[in-house]
Every structure is written in structure tokens, then in C-alpha cells.
Chains A and B, each alone.
Chain A
Amino acid sequence: MKRNVAFPYFFIAPAVLLFAVFTIYPVLSSLLLSFQKSTGGELIFTGLANYQRLFGDDIFIKALKNTFLILIIQVPIMIFLALVLANALNRKLLKLKGFFRTSFFLPAVTSLVAYAVLFSIMMQDDGIFNTAIHMLGLDSIPWLSHPVWAKISMILAMTWRWTGYNMVIFLAALQNLSDDIYEAAALDGAGKWQQFFHITIPQLKPVILFSTILSTIGTLQLFDEPMNLTKGGPADSTMTLGLYIYQNGFEYFDFGYASAIAYVVVILVAVLSFLQFKVTGED
């Protein structure tokens, strides 16, 4: 039978061409840029100067710390909450299941800018959050104006936006588990929480790993939220790597330095994804 040998190449050519121009070239070009410095409109090769500068840059260190702090606190809270919600929704006799699932997923269809702006208005000193707190007779909270609270606010907002998304992933995985194992466990006297920790979580491990890696990659690039919710403040307390790259590139037009920070993110993403794979994949 005569096969059209060229056919696959015709079909994949547009994707490969676009990929070469808009992905491979920029990735290599920014690697090159990270070793360069712009002086009087000319780019000059400066070796590792941009990378050396990182170590003495307080804002960079702060951005790195903030990004990791948000990562370490927000991702586990969100994943756990998503698991608990998915588990509750997976009850056979639960009424209003569709309503609950839809409500929880709704934040995930909102644009990041829209929800960040919405939260920034609700979290103002005299916004609805504090009005509600006042009505309960409590003192108002400096949601966005205190360095610690600003981080907490960011974590709360991100958890609102992303928990439902992860919950639906877990729910889909839960529905593929067989009932037998739960019935057996129930007969052996395992309570609901014991079943949750000893059956549900271990069974869902691959999916939890998938969600954790996606969330980690997302958090390392965090930009829309700090840009629109807190503007990185107060006093850089919510500055993230993503926002700092943008500021260096498009506010100070220091393309070389911005590229060096971007490559720090590239390396972090690669290392963390690899580690999460290793840690969760082996035992």
C-alpha cells in the first residue's frame, strides 16, 4: 500500500514553526539576555554579573521568600480543603450535589484579574469584610495594609479561586474508585475520617501529585494576584518573583536582570517538579 510519507510533516509543520519562533527562540534569547547588560542602548556581555547581583538584592530575596511562603502554606491548605470537599460531595445520598459542585467551581471560571480586583475592593479597610467583622463586634483587620495580613489575604484569595478547580479533579478521581474497599473498611469498624486518611488519600496519590505540581508551577509564576490585589505591598511584603520580573523588565527596562530572575524561576520549576515526582512517586 502506498503511504503518503510527507503527510505527517505537513500536518505538524505549523505547530513546529510557531513553536520555534515563539517558544524556542525566546527561551534561548532570554538565556542569552540573562548574561547581558544594556548600556546606552547597546547590549554588552557581562558574564554572571546579573546572577551575582541577585544575592545582594534585598527585594529579590524578599520575593523569593514570599513566593515560597505562599507556596508552602497555600498549596497544602488548598489541596486538603479540596480533598475534604470532594470527599463530602462524593456521598451517594447527598442532595443538591449539582448545586454544590457548580458553586465551588464557579470561582475557577473567573479571570484572575477580575477576582483579584474584586477581593482588593472587599478587603479595603472599610470594605465589606471589615463591615461584617464590625457587625460581629470585632476589631477590623488591616487585610491589605499590614505586611503579615497582606500575605494572609493573598493566600485566602488564591484559595477561594483555586480550591473548586482542584476539588473537581479529585471528585472525578474519587468516582473511579470502587466502593468495595470502603465497605470492607466500614465492616472492620473504620470511621469516616479513618477511611479518608487511610483509603481516599493513598488511592488518590497520583492525582494529588498532579494537582500539587500544577499548583507549584502556578505559584512560582504568581503575577496577576500580587499585581492586582496588593501591588506587591505593603513594603514589598507580597512581592513575588513573577511581579519582580515584570517590574525589572517593563518598569525599569532592565531586560538582562529580569531575564536572570526568570531563569531562576525556570530552574525552580524544574527542580521542584522533579523533587515532587521523586518524593511522592517512590514509596
Chain B
Amino acid sequence: MNVIEKVTLNNPHALPARVKSQKKKGFFRQSGVYLFLGLFAFISIFPFYWMIIGATNHSGKMFSSPPTLLPGKEFMVNLAHLNEAVRIGRVLFNSVFVSVLFVILALAISTAAAYVLAKFEFKGKKTIFTAFLLSMMIPGQATMIPLFKMMSDFHLLNTYFALIAPSLCFPFAIFLMRQNLMAFPTELMESARLDGASELRIFLSIVLPSMKPALAATAIFLFMSQWNNFMWPLVATTSSEMYTFPVAIASLMGVTSIDYGQVMMGVTIATIPMIIFFLALQRHFISGMLGSALK
């Protein structure tokens, strides 16, 4: 006889009371969980809200007490100041152009490499793959100085080439695509070969079409890494004409009298497109950014 039966037999009112107290405990625990999650959601979101407050108010309002908690009317003023300081249209163009071109080229290069690493046997394959894997542990700081000297020697500093070329072979993207391509059924490739299809044709019209989700995820990963990249563009660009967003924003904080409204506007313009992009493509985004962790 278990405990509940015993209790019920001895006292017919005991069970409901027990269930009630459990329910009560459950209610408190539930509220606790929501309170905890709500607090962290607030902490996560507040800085974004504050960024918008800053971008739409006068510079000094960010430091007023009591605090200004509502969006103001200085949006256009801050935008105009920002534009005077860094030519925001040019920065936006640089960032978008560099990121898009980079994604297209890097995606093509890494998908091609990943495909043969996943589906073919050839001499040197193991060495190449191991080298790619190991290079993921090499910090950017270890290659930055020779890269800078190289670009400087060839008079390539302050060019789109310098911003894009060094990370075009992106081992993590190769790794990601390879994981997905390994799952593609080899029999489909074999039967296409028997039908006389060329290798290129098999890749383009049989394999690639089934890789759309993986390509989208990898593209987002590559885009994020280029859009947010700071150290290399900081080194490779000396002219403000070639600044990307992170470099431009950092440069706004380097002057003696900082216009915070203008800085917040810059931060907002660099951040909001990413957030919209993320909200629209959440699933692809998360699998792209986490990469193989999800596999």
C-alpha cells in the first residue's frame, strides 16, 4: 500500500489538501521562473531601447536625472550630425558592398572546397582538411601584421580587395558546408554519373539545389562575421572613405568632445538592420551562427 492510499484511507480529506499545497508550490515556482526569465529578457532588451532613446534625443539627455525614458524628436538632427562626422551613406555602402561581395565569393569558394572534401577521395585531402581545422585556432592577431605588410607593399591598403581577400578562405564555413554535404546521398551522384552527367553538372544541378538551408545558414554566418569585423578593417583602412561601420563608430568615440546623440545614431544604424534580418530569418540565423554545434 503506498503512502497516498494510506493517507486517503485514514483521512478522506487529506489528499485534496496535499494536492492543493503541491499546486500552490507549483504556482510559486512557476511565477519564480517567469520572474527570472522576465528579468533577463529586460536586461537583454533594455540596452537596445536605450540605444533608440539616445539616437532620438539630444546628446545631453542620456545623462539627465531623472532619466529620459521616451524617444525624442532629434532623430534627423543626430542623423545630420553623424553624416557630417563620417559620411554615413558612404560607410553604409562600404559595409553592405564588402559584406555582400564577401558572402558571394566566400560561399562559392567554401562550398566547392567542402563538396570535394565531403564526397571525393584525392591525394592530400587529409592534410588539407587538417590544416583548415587547425587554422581555426589561430588568432587573427597572429596573421594581422604580415597581412598588413603585404597589403602595404602591394599598395592595397584602403581598397575593397584588402578588406575582403584575407578571409575569403573561411575554414569554419568549409567545415559547416562539409557537415551538410556529407549527408547528401552518394547514390544520387553515382546514378547521374552513369547517365553521363559531368561532375560540374552533378554539383550544380543535383547537389546544390538540395543544400539551400545549409547555404542560407552559412551565408548568414559569413555575413555576420564580415559585417561585424573590426580589427582587420581598422588596420587595413586609414582613409575614412573606406571605413566600415565598426571602424566608423569607433572613430566617433575617439574625438575630444563626443556627440553622444550622433554615436547612438551610428550604433542604431549598424544594429537595427541586423535585428530585422535576424527576426525575419531566425531559424537560418541561429543554425548559421551556431554552426556545427547544432548537428
Contacts and interface: CB of A to CB of B under 8 A. Distances in A.
A22 B166 contact: yes
Contacts of A54: none
A279 B199 CA distance: 45
A152 interface: no
B147 to A, nearest CB: 5
A121 B227 CA distance: 22
A249 B144 CA distance: 9
Interface in B49-73: 50-51, 54, 62-67
B139 A220 contact: yes
Contact of B47 (A16, A27, A118, A227): A118
- Interface on chain B toward A: helix, strand, loop, or mixed SS? helix
B128 A12 contact: yes
Contacts of B275: 106, 109
A122 B53 CA distance: 12
Interface residues of A, number: 93
A106 B144 CA distance: 30
Given A7-B120, A118-B267, A224 B231 contact: yes
Interface in B1-60: 29, 33, 36-37, 40-41, 43-45, 47-48, 50-51, 54
A72 B157 CA distance: 38
Contact of A15 (B37, B65, B144, B174): B174
B143 interface: yes
Contacts of A195: none
Contacts of B257: none
A88 B33 contact: yes
A124 interface: yes
Contacts of B148: 249-250
Interface stretch (B78-86, B208-216, B245-253): B245-253
A11 B47 CA distance: 45
B126 interface: no
B113 A12 contact: yes
A164 B47 CA distance: 15
- Interface on chain A toward B: helix, strand, loop, or mixed SS? helix
Interface string A14-37: 111011001111110110010000
B183 interface: no
A1 interface: yes
A12 B249 contact: no
Contacts of B48: 106
B267 A117 contact: yes
Interface string B191-234: 00110001110010000000000000000000010011011000
B293 A9 contact: no
A131 B139 contact: no
Contacts of B96: none
Given A22-B147, A262-B145, A117 B249 contact: yes
A112 to B, nearest CB: 6
A263 B135 contact: no
Given A16-B128, A207-B293, A109 B144 contact: no
A224 to B, nearest CB: 5
Nearest to A106: B44
A145 interface: no
Of B62, B167, B169, B270, the most chain A CB neighbours within 10 A belong to: B169
B115 A102 contact: no
A265 B146 contact: no
Interface string B97-120: 000000000000110110111001
A4 interface: yes
B184 interface: no
Interface string B121-139: 0100100100110010111
A120 B144 contact: no
A9 B274 contact: no
Nearest to B247: A113
A114 B270 contact: yes
Contacts of B274: 109-111
7 contacts: A91-B33, A111-B228, A118-B47, A224-B246, A246-B235, A259-B142, A273-B137
A-B pairs with lowest CB-CB distance, top 3: A26-B143, A15-B113, A18-B169
Given A7-B199, A115-B47, 13 more contacts: A16-B128, A91-B33, A96-B37, A100-B40, A102-B279, A112-B230, A118-B50, A124-B63, A131-B63, A135-B66, A220-B139, A223-B231, A273-B137
